[in-house]
């Protein structure tokens, strides 16, 4: 599904990747661990076409991440960035906008309520602006959007960093049980308890 | 009202008379410099260090306007369509360059898109103005083409600077948010929309505001000039309305085009903002 072959990347004269090789199979769950600054987030950015590599090859479903395929590839990825960089609008506005553009595959009201429950989100949150949300609320809204989009590949950058222990367990269980290809960057030990997760240590 | 003076009063009354404004001798023009004496005095007492800048600006104004006077005289004398067009194209090129300099964008990269984004609305509105509104026989008549063109360009300059600046610095500042939108919508247009809307609003707001207050505080320069030149106020007012609308349209469309045309050089083929488009500020 995702293949990095002897990838080299330099940014601001700093070598981020030299000869990186990584293969992620369909529906595999991979946890990437390593000290900060080592390029974990950059890995996601390459897949989304936000960062271009210097040497080597990166393929997504056998396709290069280039002008021709980038749109199609982005359509298959749900990316949860570390700071959940949503536009500063009311949450309902964001959801409506995504719905208008057919980004949300799960349109069922029952699914929506179930996900709100799972994420322990109250409906008042929906009327708030993104900048007024707490870190934890923003993280859960980000996840909600991803769950509703229902795309086949999930790239999650520290998805549980701002959640409390109970919620962490609930949500990680939900994520790991999905029939999706999921790559997680996390310092949280909660992921390791799950035996289906392959751990990549950098 | 800004304009006054007894010299103009009889001219206004004469209406359509082609007499024009009374000439000023160089000496009487220079007499205005008398008021610099109290200015210098006050600057000195208050220890304001603006004397050097002030004097150099006044000298520059005099030199630049003298040159304009000379070549306008030349253009008006020959009144050749080709010459007039060449003059306008040069003006557009200069405008382009100052737009990009003021927006901190690389001139070489952006020159062509911005040039055409100025040229298209400018040419359409200008010829509409001359052909449909004023209905002059010779569309290339220097007397209309040059001053009206100059007014349109001068105003567009400001609005495109505001527009491009707001667009590119907005995305640069919020790059993560832009990229995140891109990852959700997978459409560059959709991800760029907020910045696009913001830049158009910012660029035309000053003109919209000035349309609302025009005539209340000051008489616009063009009207003043026409009245001094011998037009009756009613004619001058109609021209002023026509030019205000034309300025607004030209600004509006050229700002939109400037942003749209520049996308190709502003972003790479994977829709990410090119970092090398900005002139580095030191």
Residue among B171, B186, B189 with most chain A CBs within 10 A, to mutate = B186
pLDDT of residue A194: 83
Residue B107 in any domain: the answer is: yes
> Do A98 and B184 count as a contact with CB atoms less than 8 A apart?
yes
Do residues B202 and B219 both lie within one domain? yes
Residue among A11, A12, A48 with most chain B CBs within 10 A, to mutate = A48
Across the interface, of B177, B187, B272, the residue whose CB is closest to A50 is B272
> CA gyration radius for chain B?
22
Residue B221 in any domain: the answer is: yes
For residue A52, the chain B residue with the least C-alpha distance is: B270
- The minimum CA-CA distance between A87 and chain B, rounded to whole Å, is 6
Q: Phi first, then psi: what are they for B206, rounded to 5°?
A: -60, -40
Structural domain of B59: 23-78
Listed in sequence order, the residues at least 6 apart from A52 whose beta carbon sits closer than 8 Å to its beta carbon are A46, B268, B270
Across the interface, of B177, B268, B270, the residue whose CB is closest to A87 is B177
Domain limit, last residue, from B45, B62, B78: B78
Residue B2 in any domain: the answer is: no
Residue B189 in any domain: the answer is: yes
CB-CB neighbors (< 8 A) of A98 in chain B: 184-185
Taking every pair of Cα atoms in chain A, the longest distance, rounded to a whole number of angstroms, is 51
Do residues B52 and B107 both lie within one domain? no
Do residues B210 and B270 both lie within one domain? yes
Residue B173 in any domain: the answer is: yes
Q: Residue B246: which of B138, B144, B155 has the closest Cα?
A: B155
H or E element that contains B132: none
Do residues B135 and B29 both lie within one domain? no
Across the interface, of A75, A81, A145, the residue whose CB is closest to B176 is A81
Do residues B138 and B269 both lie within one domain? yes
> Do A70 and B181 count as a contact with CB atoms less than 8 A apart?
no
Residue B3 in any domain: the answer is: no
Do residues B108 and B50 both lie within one domain? no
Residue B13 in any domain: the answer is: no
What digits encode the pLDDT tens for the residues B92-140?
Answer: 999 999 999 999 999 999 999 999 999 999 999 999 999 999 999 988 8
Do residues B256 and B118 both lie within one domain? yes
CB-CB neighbors (< 8 A) of A74 in chain B: 182-183, 186
Do residues B94 and B166 both lie within one domain? yes
pLDDT of residue B274: 94
ipTM score:
0.94
Do residues B254 and B131 both lie within one domain? yes
> CA gyration radius for chain A?
17
Each residue's pLDDT, cut to its tens digit, for chain A (202 residues) gives 999 999 999 988 889 999 999 999 999 999 999 888 889 999 999 999 999 999 999 999 999 999 999 999 999 999 999 999 999 999 999 999 999 998 898 888 999 999 999 999 999 999 999 999 999 999 999 999 999 999 999 999 999 999 999 999 999 999 999 999 999 999 998 998 888 899 998 8
Do residues B116 and B44 both lie within one domain? no
Distance from C-alpha of A53 to C-alpha of A81, rounded to nearest angstrom: 20
CB-CB neighbors (< 8 A) of A70 in chain B: 270-271
Do residues B62 and B115 both lie within one domain? no
Residue B140 in any domain: the answer is: yes
Residue B194 tokens read as: 């907020």
pLDDT of residue A103: 87
Residues of chain B with pLDDT under 50: 1-18, 282
Q: Residue B143: which of B131, B132, B130, B133 has the closest Cα?
A: B130
pLDDT of residue B15: 41
> Do A52 and B270 count as a contact with CB atoms less than 8 A apart?
yes
pLDDT of residue B280: 78
Do residues B119 and B249 both lie within one domain? yes
Domain limit, last residue, from B78, B108, B124: B78
Total structural domains in chain B?
2
Strands (E), chain A: 2-11, 14-24, 29-33, 55-60, 63-64, 77-80, 153-157, 181-185, 197-201
Domain limit, last residue, from B42, B58, B78: B78
pLDDT of residue B281: 60
pLDDT of residue B12: 40
Listed in sequence order, the residues at least 6 apart from B22 whose beta carbon sits closer than 8 Å to its beta carbon are B7, B11
Q: Where are the alpha helices (DSSP H) in chain A?
A: 40-47, 70-74, 91-100, 109-118, 135-149, 165-176
Chain A from 153 to 182: CB within 8 A of any B CB = none
Across the interface, of B176, B186, B272, the residue whose CB is closest to A75 is B186
Distance from C-alpha of A90 to C-alpha of A96, rounded to nearest angstrom: 10
Across the interface, of B183, B268, B270, the residue whose CB is closest to A79 is B183
> Per this entry, what is the length of chain A?
202
CB-CB neighbors (< 8 A) of A75 in chain B: 186
Residue A161 C-beta-side C-alpha neighbours within 13 Å: 18
Four-point Cα dihedral B87, B89, B92, B94, nearest 10: -70
What digits encode the pLDDT tens for the residues A32-55?
Answer: 998 888 899 999 999 999 999 999
């Amino acid at each position: 599904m995702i293949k990095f072959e002897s990838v080299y990347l330099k940014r601001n004269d700093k070598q981020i990747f030299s000869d990186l090789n990584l293969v992620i199979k369909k529906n595999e769950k991979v946890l990437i661990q390593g000290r900060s600054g080592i390029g974990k987030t950059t890995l996601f950015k390459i897949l989304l076409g936000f960062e271009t590599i210097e040497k080597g090859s990166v393929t997504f479903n056998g396709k290069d991440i280039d002008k021709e395929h980038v749109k199609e590839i982005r359509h298959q990825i749900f990316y949860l960035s570390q700071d959940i960089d949503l536009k500063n609008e009311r949450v309902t506005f964001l959801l409506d906008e995504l719905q208008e553009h057919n980004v949300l595959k799960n349109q069922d009201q029952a699914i929506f309520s179930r996900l709100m429950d799972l994420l322990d989100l109250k409906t008042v949150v929906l009327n708030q602006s993104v900048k007024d949300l707490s870190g934890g609320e923003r993280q859960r809204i980000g996840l909600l959007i991803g769950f509703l989009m229902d795309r086949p590949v999930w790239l999650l950058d520290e998805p549980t960093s701002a959640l409390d222990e109970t919620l962490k367990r609930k949500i990680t269980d939900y994520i790991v049980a999905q029939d999706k290809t999921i790559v997680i960057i996390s310092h949280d030990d909660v992921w390791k308890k799950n035996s289906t997760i392959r751990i990549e240590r950098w | 009202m800004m304009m006054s003076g007894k010299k103009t009063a009889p001219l206004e009354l004469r209406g359509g008379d082609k007499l024009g404004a009374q000439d000023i001798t160089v000496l009487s023009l220079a007499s205005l410099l008398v008021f610099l004496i109290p200015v210098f005095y006050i600057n000195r007492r208050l220890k304001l260090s603006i004397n050097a800048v002030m004097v150099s600006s006044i000298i520059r104004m005099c030199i630049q306007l003298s040159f304009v006077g000379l070549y306008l005289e030349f253009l008006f004398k020959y009144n050749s369509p080709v010459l007039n067009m060449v003059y306008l194209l040069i003006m557009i090129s200069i405008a382009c360059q100052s737009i990009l300099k003021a927006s901190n964008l690389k001139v070489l990269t952006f020159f062509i898109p911005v040039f055409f984004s100025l040229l298209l609305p400018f040419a359409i509105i200008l010829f509409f103005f001359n052909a449909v509104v004023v209905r002059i026989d010779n569309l290339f008549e220097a007397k209309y083409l040059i001053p009206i063109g100059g007014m349109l360009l001068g105003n567009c300059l400001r609005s495109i600077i505001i527009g491009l600046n707001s667009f590119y610095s907005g995305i640069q500042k919020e790059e993560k948010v832009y990229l995140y939108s891109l990852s959700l919508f997978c459409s560059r247009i959709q991800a760029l929309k907020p910045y696009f809307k913001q830049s158009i609003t910012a660029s035309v707001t000053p003109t919209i505001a000035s349309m609302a207050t025009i005539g209340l505080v000051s008489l616009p320069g063009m009207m003043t000039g026409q009245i001094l030149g011998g037009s009756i106020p009613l004619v001058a007012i109609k021209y002023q309305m026509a030019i205000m609308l034309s300025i607004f349209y030209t600004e509006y469309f050229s700002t939109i085009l400037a942003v749209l045309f520049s996308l190709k050089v502003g972003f790479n083929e994977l829709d990410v903002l090119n970092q090398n488009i900005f002139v580095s500020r030191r």
